[in-house]
Structure 1
């Protein structure tokens, strides 16, 4: 994602009788020095995010004191995906010219810096830019930040999550059936998000995947992965043939993802795959895809595909697809599914311990039970089928459980009584990610024009 930054302001003649206050710089040298300071500060922000694994690039550094200069640089600016505007001087027309270019924008003000405009007139206009449609055609993607670069990081994570979501390619195997009204979820996702989707029927997917799985390289890869899983798992409840079937499905799906340049794979009717030619549900396969940075999405659920993808890219960690499995009681809830990534603390982390096992409902190979560790904060997201509303949750993991439900189970504790949670749920499946990303999700909901409630 490319971020273009610019400063608004010029050199003010402090002796002019028409000046209103000491807005702006009194010399070109001081203005250029502030540009150097801003560039250093912004590059430190980007460096931190690069170290977290986000793919970002910052460029620009123009200083504008009139709107004509903005449009003269349009060819340079239009390649960006977001703008970072440092509001030094009082040139509101320059601000509006930059915002008219239709890019998500962060307006940064140093409120305690004597050279930055912070008089009540311009400050009020900045505030109105977030709320007043007479000043902005669409204020949902303009964020005003005072002094706090940590807040800038949160907004950039949200921007990155939405950016990557909208550029995702989905390999959809089977026919969408949905959870609410068959094709309604697909329509909502295509209209609001605009994902690129490649559809394959089950037989074609199998036959194309087997071109690689049955090759010499494919067979070697299957054997290597099986050995690694048997070595790393704390227990194995699968037969060798069952494990092999699950790994063959993983190798086949990864081959198809690469062939079709897809970062997301989902399968309609995947719970029946144990009785298919694959002889395995994709639970283990999706877990392995998630751990390497791709996304495996269960049951062809397009609504939760959006939630899981958004969380994965906002956090730069693998996200977990779950059912709300145990009725919420007081402050506790249990979420579960038969697939889960293990590297929940980050792609470079060692990963949680796990058991190789079967899919719960069908008792078919191959699934995984992750032994979640207690004491970690997790951020949850549930989206409505029409993508118009969301529930954002923040809870703490109490560790794994052993209920007779889907294999990978996590019990969580909220700070507040969430017994009324069901009043807000408008979707079915949830997704969650390790870490605190509530603020990032709020910014993402604003970008996507989705109403939300927060449960903590």
Structure 2
């Protein structure tokens, strides 16, 4: 799953003196190509490798590349002049069928109709026109993310025996007005996910074989870095939570899975004591480890967590929005927040150990997120046609006994519209940073429309 993306970097530009094309009659195309070849290794460090770098001047040049299509995962086309051979340009995309990023610079290209035509035809292609190297890097990162999605993430779903298929999930009455999915949703989700379902009793059998010493080591780390533990939470409670974490990692290894979804609420509604404690701590820790993990078997949110792992290098947090007309706020709350919100290799946010809200069971990690931090808030529509998108800042991190434990408060200009036009499903996925630019590109590759939620 983590193998580098193998890319071909193809250059399109005219030859001749005078050039008879933009950007300039005596523009040195070859010199610019050599500069870009030297630069391209910095566009996607440790994630991509450009195994082909070639100026496409003829049909023979393109055929050589197409003959090696099995070696590459995607194509980056760099247009350096106007008046290129558009037949070759079209075939580089149409014949290869590979996800394609088209790069160019202001005054170097007028290929907008051709790029748009390929998008309309349904090819996975997106274009970037910019004088900024940073925009090239963002574009390549988006292409890399889409390639990783195309490889399909292997997902393990821990669930009740009545819900061991994609179509049978979320049949409990509490989800009847929320998780209303279409056949297109199931089809599109399977494009990006390879799903394996296991009965939660297998989790419990694995749990029983986890050693106390291994769990105690995890608990020591949790307690050492926490700033507060709620009165009444015992060491044995945290050991149970750590054993669930270890058991889930063992199951992930057993099934060769890269991501996890736990149908936790349905399991607990079926039998409150089915699990020794909630899997909230385990889900937080797995996300900190770089293993996307979703509560409530929320697979659309899990897909977004996978996306942000590759796009942002950060974990994403599944949350429930809380709307308050009185102060124009939307507060996001849930009990499974990661602590590594700044990045998998960055310092953890401060956190406390609290109880699970709905059941009162110990324990959950209550993460104190950074005030003033810009966040991107997203979700996928139930028919998989739209990507909901909102960008805001964390104004407060309320500590309130009501509702799920980790909370971040934001303010919006028209809070009533948030309620009156709210789109299913309920959950919203939050990641640090403004990723709206990258998501606008990724949505093109994924054949989704961006729907901006009210400011």
Per the shorter chain, which TM-score range?
0.7 to 0.9
- SS of residue in 2 equivalent to 1:431: strand
Instruction: Give the aligned CA root-mean-square deviation in angstroms.
Output: 2.7
Distance 1:151 1:289 in 2: 31
Q: Are the equivalent residues in 2 in contact too, given 1:11–1:31 (CA < 8 A)? A: yes
- Per the alignment, residue 166 of structure 2 pairs with none
- Per the alignment, residue 54 of structure 2 pairs with 62
CA 159–106 in structure 1, closer or farther in 2 if over 3 Å, else same: closer
Q: Are the equivalent residues in 2 in contact too, given 1:81–1:103 (CA < 8 A)? A: yes
CA 9–451 in structure 1, closer or farther in 2 if over 3 Å, else same: closer
TM-score relative to the length of structure 2: 0.86
- 1:149-164 to structure 2, matched below 5 A, reads 149-164=133-148
Q: Which moved more, 1:77-86 or 1:431-440?
A: 77-86
- Per the alignment, residue 3 of structure 1 pairs with 7
- Per the alignment, residue 35 of structure 2 pairs with 37
Unaligned runs of 5+ residues in structure 1 are none
CA 180–38 in structure 1, closer or farther in 2 if over 3 Å, else same: farther
- Per the alignment, residue 249 of structure 1 pairs with 244
Unaligned runs of 5+ residues in structure 2 are 164-168
Shift of 1:226: 0.8
TM-score relative to the length of structure 1: 0.85
Q: Are the equivalent residues in 1 in contact too, given 2:267–2:274 (CA < 8 A)? A: no
CA 331–147 in structure 1, closer or farther in 2 if over 3 Å, else same: farther
What do residues 7-59 of structure 1 show as CA deviations (whole Å, max 9, x unaligned)? 12353254xxxx855789979xx554332211123223234xx4xxxx22223
- Per the alignment, residue 310 of structure 2 pairs with 313
- SS of residue in 2 equivalent to 1:131: helix
- Per the alignment, residue 440 of structure 2 pairs with 442
- Per the alignment, residue 427 of structure 1 pairs with 425
Q: Which moved more, 1:69-78 or 1:244-253?
A: 69-78
Q: How many residues align?
A: 427
Shift of 1:206: 2.2
Distance 1:81 1:359 in 2: 43
Asked if 1:192 corresponds to 2:188, the answer is yes
- SS of residue in 1 equivalent to 2:396: strand
CA 268–188 in structure 1, closer or farther in 2 if over 3 Å, else same: farther
CA 204–411 in structure 1, closer or farther in 2 if over 3 Å, else same: same
- 1:273-312 to structure 2, matched below 5 A, reads 273=268, 275-312=272-309
Residue 110 of structure 1 is aligned with which of 84, 105, 108?
Answer: 105
Q: Which moved more, 1:426-435 or 1:87-96?
A: 87-96
Shift of 1:247: 0.8
Q: Which moved more, 1:224-233 or 1:284-293?
A: 224-233
- SS of residue in 2 equivalent to 1:366: strand
Residue 170 of structure 2 is aligned with which of 165, 177, 197?
Answer: 177
Distance 2:117 2:354 in 1: 55
- 1:73-92 to structure 2, matched below 5 A, reads 73-89=65-81, 90-92=84-86
Distance 1:44 1:342 in 2: 29
Distance 1:445 1:13 in 2: 41
- SS of residue in 2 equivalent to 1:347: coil
What do residues 242-301 of structure 1 show as CA deviations (whole Å, max 9, x unaligned)? 111111101110111122221211111446558335311110110000101001201112
Distance 1:427 1:197 in 2: 20
Q: Are the equivalent residues in 1 in contact too, given 2:377–2:389 (CA < 8 A)? A: yes
Distance 1:88 1:95 in 2: 12
Shift of 1:313: 2.5
- 1:33-432 to structure 2, matched below 5 A, reads 33-47=31-45, 50=46, 55-89=47-81, 90-100=84-94, 101-112=96-107, 116=108, 118=109, 123=110, 126-132=111-117, 137-138=121-122, 141-166=125-150, 167-174=152-159, 175=163, 176-177=169-170, 179-180=175-176, 185=181, 187-193=183-189, 194=191, 195-211=193-209, 213=210, 218-237=211-230, 238-270=233-265, 272-273=267-268, 275-327=272-324, 331-403=328-400, 404-414=402-412, 416-422=413-419, 423-432=421-430
Q: Are the equivalent residues in 2 in contact too, given 1:24–1:88 (CA < 8 A)? A: no
What do residues 122-145 of structure 1 show as CA deviations (whole Å, max 9, x unaligned)? x1xx11123336x96325523142
Distance 1:229 1:235 in 2: 11
